[in-house]
């Protein structure tokens, strides 16, 4: 995969979690040494501030247990995924890993769709250890959502090797990364979070249809509320704001799920979107903050944010629960259906986004109600799109 960026790759290094890392220990040591040379008044003030911070952390930890320690609805439901095959994108870490673990515990055969096969195999070994069974059906397959060619290879392999696909969990994503282009010339967040999953879902629809009843689960975010679909600048050629680009990609996820549900009505395949809440994962590795603030942020994240296991509950609920077997086109949070803002319920925009997405990834419509079933030419390239740079040559360059 070829990507361009001003700083680091959009898939940068994983930050240190939780707050007991080396950075936190160094930061904690500084103020203690300084107070030795301070007067009694300043020492008292520092002590009061420290006690206040400690109290805040204790209260946040209590709130965390109260808000996120509730038993999952799955614990009360007779859910079984035995005999079911599930694909989870981004399954080797964070929410994807937690989703994979939960579904495997329910008896599912899970295909871990990951960018790095070696890391995927490492994750599978760890998951089997946690499951306490070397017999757990975990299959690792390479999938780079920043490459349309990789998506096509992944889907072609599944069509050859798999007899059925019961659930597709579109989980993988990037968050507020520096401006970069995928190898196909898309802005990374829109390309990975929306277009890669759009093509993946479209190419797997025949297999999902043959396995009906089946489900598509789309992991979005409550930050869809900040998103806007600007069809005149989907590649962020004119301007780029990481937060706005992320919100747009998550809004596209919601609109895609709703439009997919509309097109699949009566086909035996459901599609729903969800937000997992604020979760402690490495997704926020590109969010910048002062070095001294990072340990405090890590501490607050530990106290107040959800664990990946808690964040994965709604995805697992939508993938496995019989309670939502006939629900499609909805948006969920905390295993409950939630109302969408008007920005996400504009059917005309959703239909246009679908058509534009088809064109960008090189699909044609086919089958009932225009459901995309196959690429227009098996290994054809999508239409040419100029990259940032010389519009005649399409040279890929980083944004200023």
State the catalytic residues. 246
The residue behind tokens 């959502």 is 145
Q: Are 354 and 259 in contact (CB under 8 A)?
A: yes
Structure tokens at 142: 């390479």
Q: Which residue has the tokens 């008007």?
A: 342
Tokens of 350: 């959703």
Cα of first residue to Cα of last residue in the chain, in angstroms, is 22
- Which of 226, 249, 243 shows the shortest CA–CA distance to 178? 243
Structure tokens at 299: 């501490």
CB atoms within 10 A of CB 330: 19
Two tokens, residue 152 = 């096509």
* Cα angle, residue 259 at apex, residues 256 and 263 outer, rounded to 5°: 130
Rg value, the chain, Cα: 22
Pairing between β-strand 214-219 and β-strand 138-142 as defined by DSSP bridges: unpaired
Beta bridge partners of 216: 168, 271
312 close to 95: Cβ distance less than 8 angstroms? yes
Q: Where are the beta strands (DSSP E) in the chain?
A: 4-5, 85-89, 109-114, 138-142, 167-170, 180-181, 214-219, 269-275, 331-333, 336-337, 363-365, 372-375
User: 213: cis peptide before it, omega within 30°?
Assistant: yes
- Is 172 in contact with 192 (CB distance < 8 Å)? yes
Q: How far apart are CA 339 and CA 332, in angstroms?
A: 8
Strands 180-181, 4-5: pairing kind: antiparallel
> Pairing mode, if any, of strands 180-181 and 167-170?
unpaired
């Amino acid at each position: 995969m070829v990507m361009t960026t001003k700083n680091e790759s959009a898939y940068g290094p994983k930050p240190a979690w939780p707050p007991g890392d080396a950075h936190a220990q160094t930061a904690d040591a500084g103020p203690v040494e300084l107070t030795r040379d301070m007067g009694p008044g300043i020492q008292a003030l520092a002590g009061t501030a420290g006690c206040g911070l400690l109290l805040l952390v204790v209260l946040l930890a209590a709130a965390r247990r109260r808000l996120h320690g509730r038993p999952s609805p799955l614990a009360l439901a007779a859910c079984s995924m035995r005999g079911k095959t599930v694909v989870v994108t981004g399954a080797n870490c964070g929410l994807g890993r937690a989703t994979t673990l939960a579904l495997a515990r329910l008896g599912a055969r899970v295909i871990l769709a990951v960018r790095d096969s070696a890391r995927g195999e490492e994750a599978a070994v760890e998951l089997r250890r946690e499951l306490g069974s070397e017999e757990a059906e975990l299959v690792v397959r390479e999938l780079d959502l920043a490459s349309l060619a990789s998506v096509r290879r992944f889907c072609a392999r599944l069509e050859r090797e798999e007899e059925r696909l019961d659930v597709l969990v579109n989980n993988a994503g990037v968050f507020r990364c520096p401006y970069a282009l995928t190898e196909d010339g898309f802005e990374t967040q829109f390309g990975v979070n929306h277009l890669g999953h759009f093509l993946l879902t479209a190419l797997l629809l025949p297999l999902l249809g043959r396995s009906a009843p089946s489900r598509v689960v789309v992991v979005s975010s409550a930050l869809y509320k900040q998103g806007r679909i600007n069809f005149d600048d989907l590649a962020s050629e004119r301007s780029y704001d990481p937060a706005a680009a992320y919100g747009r990609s998550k809004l596209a996820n919601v609109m895609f799920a709703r439009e997919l549900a509309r097109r699949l009505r009566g086909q035996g395949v459901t599609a729903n979107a969800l937000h997992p809440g604020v979760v402690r994962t490495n997704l926020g590795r590109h969010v910048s903050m002062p070095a001294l603030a990072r340990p405090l942020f890590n501490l607050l994240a530990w106290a107040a944010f959800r664990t990946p296991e808690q964040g994965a509950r709604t995805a697992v609920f939508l993938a496995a629960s019989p309670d939502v077997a006939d629900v499609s086109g909805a948006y969920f949070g905390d295993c409950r259906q939630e109302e969408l803002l008007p920005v996400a319920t504009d059917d005309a925009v959703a239909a246009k986004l679908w058509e534009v997405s088809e064109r960008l990834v090189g699909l044609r419509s086919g089958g009932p109600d225009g459901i995309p079933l196959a690429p227009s030419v098996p290994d054809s390239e999508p239409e040419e799109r100029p990259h940032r740079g010389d519009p005649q040559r399409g040279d890929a360059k980083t944004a200023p």
